[in-house]
Structure 1
Amino acid sequence: MGNRHLLAGCSALFATLAPADAGATPLVARYEATAGGMTIMQFDATFDLEGPRYAIRIQSRMRGVAAWLASGEQVTSVEGRWEGNHPIPDRYRQEGTFRGKRRVVAIDYAPAGMPQLRALEPPNDGEREPVPAALRQDTMDGLSALAKLVRSVSRTGRCDTTAQVFDGRRRSNYSVRTVSQDVMPASAGYAGPALRCAFESRILAGFRLDQDREAEAKIPHPATAWLGHPWPGAGPVPVLIEMPTRWFGPVRATLVSIASAGSGQAVAQGGAPEAGPRPGQQGR
């Protein structure tokens, strides 16, 4: 997985942060991703999944050695509505830069369930094969798919779910299964019970033109997330995410801070709530 795909892939995974039953107040959070003991990415996120509608916004940026090798940052967002526990996206946007070049994806969703690609920069021409219309029908974006996962965890205590995902360039199938109920040590940045969920995605269409299509279709893209409760009454959030990458080896993304928007209540080391953010937690 290259830097650009790492930026996109991690951004999608952080959509699982949204708690489904923590009340109507949005949550704001920060994660830091490390590889080989060095910080390579940072994520700032705001989530609002309560009520009949939902919204997610994630800002991600390369840091440290990753920024030196290939600078990049992007903002990814989605707005949609719930039909029971199923997310129905209305509008998905991704905008950023990679190695100084602008990258944009804009998707609107028609009532018939066919995503309408409003903008794609740079275009797929010469880079990737097009995704057939039949494979785009009734798909959702990655943020909505993973919001669906957290909704399931909050209501059932398990992470078993699937989704058909189209991100503007690729068409993938997502699957998640429950692995175990673990206890995280304080050294992980959060101490306490956490549900371990195993992710896997497989690309069906939208392969790069310089790839061996059949070989790439057989390659699973795994990740693991541990979801815990940052304070009593809060919904489940990922406290640790691990994913393999081609260039950096295993990447670990750790929850640095989380708070209810406007409340000042932030998670402390070990999972207990504080009266307010610790120095350096917010506003960096």
Structure 2
Amino acid sequence: MLAIFGAGLLPVVAPAPSFGQGGRLDAKYEATLAGIPVGKGAWTIDIGDDQYSASAYGGTSGLLKTFAGGSGTGAAVGRVVNGALVATNYVASTTTSKKSESIHITLANGTVKEFGIDPQPPVDADRIPVTDAQKRGVFDPMTATMLRVPGTGDLMAPDSCRTGAAIFDGRMRYELKLDFKRMTTVKADKGYSGPAMVCAIYFSPVAGYIPDRPVIKYLSAQRNMEITFAPLAGTRILVPFRMVIPTPLGTAMLEATEFMTQAAPPHVAKTQ
């Protein structure tokens, strides 16, 4: 983050106007498993001078919908502070033929202030509890997927991938670590066509999970998961264009079919 300095000069030097950056993304995605379509979704992101919002929805499709229909929504809102996205609220809901569930999280400067799951899940003695200390310095799941690149250099330099995030999703606290793999080009059916950056992604559970669950063990051991990022115009934010996760049933892939991104008009801040 940039420090504020030179306060002693303010009475002498008039403050210069500041120009904010911002942009919008309207994207649609398709999920496949072993090449077979299994789901569709959409994601909208709005980033302004001092606040942002993101919302997504998705559901099963094709053959999978016949056997296990389901849908979900998610949304995050927060502030833009020196270019960084600082979440204040996150909500998510899922609905299947068997049950519905909603999650909400309230945050302040990366610290979870309040959260809940409705209906409240039963207590499981095997679940590792999440401590108060583990609820500090975290992102919500949606904000964490938007990769902010600080500075003024090349947005898609390899170092942009060499980062990580601590995430709390209302139930589990985990770490996602990224590392650079390669540069590539992508082309949506509608919208963005151009350079993109492929990052390896590694999952490490911290708390709020049951250690013996096969899915936790599987994801923790994976070394072939990757995510491809494309730029959100007008910002220093990279957004997932494609995600690839090997599974015992074949490769799972989430890929943008539409990726419409545009910069917001420059905004001149008031000087008085």
Aligned equivalents of 2:69, 2:215: Cα separation in 1: 29
Query: Which of the two has greater helix per residue?
Result: 1
Aligned to 1:98: 96
2: distance between equivalents of 1:252 and 1:71?
18
How many angstroms apart in 1 are the aligned matches of 2:74 and 2:41?
11
Aligned twin of 1:251 = 252
In the TM superposition, residue 177 of structure 1 has moved relative to its aligned partner by: 1.5
Q: How does 1:1-284 map to 2 (within 5 A)?
A: 24-110=22-108, 113-126=111-124, 128-147=127-146, 149-151=147-149, 156-157=155-156, 158-184=160-186, 192-208=194-210, 211=213, 219-220=221-222, 223-228=225-230, 236-246=238-248, 248-260=249-261
Residue 101 of structure 1: how far off its partner (Å):
0.5
TM-score, scaled relative to structure 2: 0.72
Q: Percent identity?
A: 22
Q: Which residue of the partner structure matches residue 11 of structure 2?
A: none
CA RMSD after TM alignment: 3.7
User: Partners of 1:233 and 1:215 in 2: how far apart?
Assistant: 36
Moved more, 206-215 or 94-103: 206-215
Report Cα offsets for 1:153-184 as digits up to 9, x if no partner. 99642222211111111110111112121245
Indicate the SS of the match to 2:49: coil
Partner secondary structure for residue 75 of structure 1: strand
Partner-residue secondary structure (3-state), 1:66: helix
Give the Cα–Cα distance (whole angstroms) in 1 for the partners of residues 250 and 130 of structure 2.
30
Q: Is the 8 A contact 1:33 1:252 kept in 2?
A: yes
Cα distance in 2, alignment partners of residues 253 and 217 from structure 1: 16
- TM-score when scaled to structure 1? 0.69
* CA distance in structure 1 between the aligned counterparts of 2:87 and 2:245, rounded to whole angstroms: 26
8 Å CA contact 1:72–1:97 kept in 2: the answer is: yes
The residue type paired with residue 89 of structure 2 is R
After superposition, give the CA deviation of every residue in 1:142-163 in whole Å (9 maximum; x if it has no partner): 212222x144599642222211
Is the contact between residue 204 and residue 217 of structure 1 (CA under 8 Å) also seen in structure 2? no
Inter-partner Cα distance in structure 2 for 1:139 and 1:239: 23
Q: C-alpha displacement at 1:73, in angstroms?
A: 0.7
Instruction: Mark the CA change 1:51 to 1:123 in structure 2 (over 3 Å): closer, same or farther.
Output: same
Distance 1:69 1:217 in 2: 24
* Counterpart contact for 1:55–1:77, Cα < 8 Å: yes
Q: Secondary structure at the match of 2:63?
A: helix
Aligned counterparts of 2:196 and 2:65: Cα–Cα separation in 1:
31
Secondary structure, counterpart of 1:144 in structure 2:
helix
Are residues 98 and 222 of structure 1, via their aligned partners in 2, closer, same or farther at CA, if it must alter by over 3 Å? farther
Pick closer, same or farther for the CA change 1:132–1:71 going to 2, 3 Å: same
Change (3 A) 1:70 1:130: farther
- CA distance in 1 between counterparts of 2:77 and 2:66 reads 33
Q: Figure out how many residues of one structure are paired with residues of the other and give that number.
A: 238
Q: 1:112 to 1:81 in 2, by over 3 A?
A: closer
- What is the rounded CA distance, in whole Å, between the counterparts of 2:243 and 2:219 in structure 1? 24
Higher RCO (Cα < 8 Å, 6 or more apart)? 2
Q: Tell me if the contact between 1:95 and 1:103 (Cα under 8 Å) persists in the aligned partners.
A: yes
Q: Do the aligned partners of 2:23 and 2:235 also contact (CA within 8 Å) in 1?
A: no
Contact 2:92 2:103 in 1 (8 A): yes
